[in-house]
Amino acid sequence: MEWIKIEDKFPNEDELVWLYSENTKCIFLGSRVYLDNEGWFWSSIDSGTYLYKGLISGDCSIDDLDVTHWMPLPKPPSNE
């Protein structure tokens, strides 16, 4: 997988992905969220990850992060 520039495409709302900030050179887990009356924000994971309905998920904190790129997470292995 390769990094996707946010100018080219955004991840789906609330989709947990790898995020990258070119300014801080940091990589972290997070998502893009919409808050009523406030608009779009990036959130970062603030605890461990877990499986929820077959997807990797986690509890996030809303931040105004300087995200420049993102990458989807790999699909978790199936239990079949």
pLDDT at site 47? 64
- The whole-number pLDDT of residue 10 equals 94
What per-residue confidence (pLDDT) applies to 68?
93
Write out the two tokens for 66: 């300087």
pLDDT of residue 80: 57
Residue keyed to tokens 């520039």: 5
pLDDT of the chain, 80 residues: tens digit per residue? 799 999 999 999 888 899 988 887 888 888 888 888 888 888 877 666 656 666 666 655 556 578 999 999 887 777 65
